[in-house]
Each structure stands twice: as C-alpha cells, then as structure tokens.
C-alpha cells in the first residue's frame, strides 16, 4: 500500500484517510488494553511507587518480548524461569529481583540477535 507523504519544516508526514487513521487508532487502543493498567494518582498527584514500577516494567517487558517475536512460554524457557513467574511479572503482580530481570533481558537480546542474523 502506497501512502502519500508531505514534508513540512524538514519532517516527513504520512497522509491517511480519516477512516484509516481511526482504524489504526482503534487497533492501538485495543493493544493498550492488553497491558497492565498504570495506577491512578492520589489527590496530590502522587503515584504509588511500587505499583507504578511494576506496571511500567511489565509494559516494557511485554513490548520487548513481542518485538522479539517470543511468547511468554518461549521467553520463560530461554530465561530459565517458570512461565508462571513471567506471567505474574507481565501482569504487574510481583516485583522481580535483579537476577530475574537480567535473565529476561538477556534472553530477549539473544532472541533479537538471532532474528537479526537470520538464525
């Protein structure tokens, strides 16, 4: 599909029909629903730190796992952790220790390197 572009102030923009923009926006919103929700701030605008950190980490891991083309089971196997553990981390229910995060990150990086090399 060819999309017309235009350049304004040195930046390229894609021109989409409003219906296509709405469709893509709906897909993005649906994908956002698959992430653990970020906690709401209190009346002073402060967020609960632990819950926010868990949800933020979970969202980042999910994005990276998906970008690497891995399922939860694949990533858990590669990282040497239980699938249930990864599931709880990705739902923002637990705070993993540093060693577990390092295993997960290393497994994602290795999967991405394999994909990039065509292995």
Per-residue model confidence as pLDDT tens digits over 5-21: 999 999 999 998 899 88
Domains of the chain: 5-117 (1.10.260.40)
Q: How many CB atoms lie within 10 A of CB 89?
A: 24
Contact 85, 100 (CB under 8 A): yes
User: Does the pLDDT of residue 86 top 70, yes or no?
Assistant: yes
Instruction: Report d(CA 26, CA 107) in Å as an integer.
Output: 31
Q: Tell me the percentage of the chain whose pLDDT exceeds 70.
A: 96
Contact 98, 113 (CB under 8 A): no
| 8-state DSSP, 48 | P
Share the mean pLDDT of the chain: 92
Per-residue model confidence as pLDDT tens digits over 48-74: 999 999 999 999 999 999 999 999 999
Longest dimension (CA), the chain: 52
| Residues linked to residue 4 through DSSP beta bridges, in sequence order | none
Res 117: pLDDT? 85
Instruction: Report d(CA 29, CA 37) in Å as an integer.
Output: 13
């Amino acid at each position: 599909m060819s999309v017309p572009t235009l350049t304004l102030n040195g930046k390229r923009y894609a021109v989409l029909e409003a219906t296509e923009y709405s469709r893509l926006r709906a897909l993005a919103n649906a994908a956002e629903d698959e992430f653990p929700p970020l906690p709401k701030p209190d009346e002073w605008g402060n967020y609960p730190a632990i819950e926010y950190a868990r949800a933020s980490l979970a969202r980042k891991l999910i994005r990276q796992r998906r970008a690497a083309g891995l399922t939860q089971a694949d990533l858990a196997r590669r990282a040497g952790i239980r699938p249930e553990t990864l599931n709880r981390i990705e739902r923002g229910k637990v705070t993993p220790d540093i060693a577990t995060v390092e295993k997960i990150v290393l497994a994602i990086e290795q999967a991405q390197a394999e994909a990039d090399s065509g292995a």
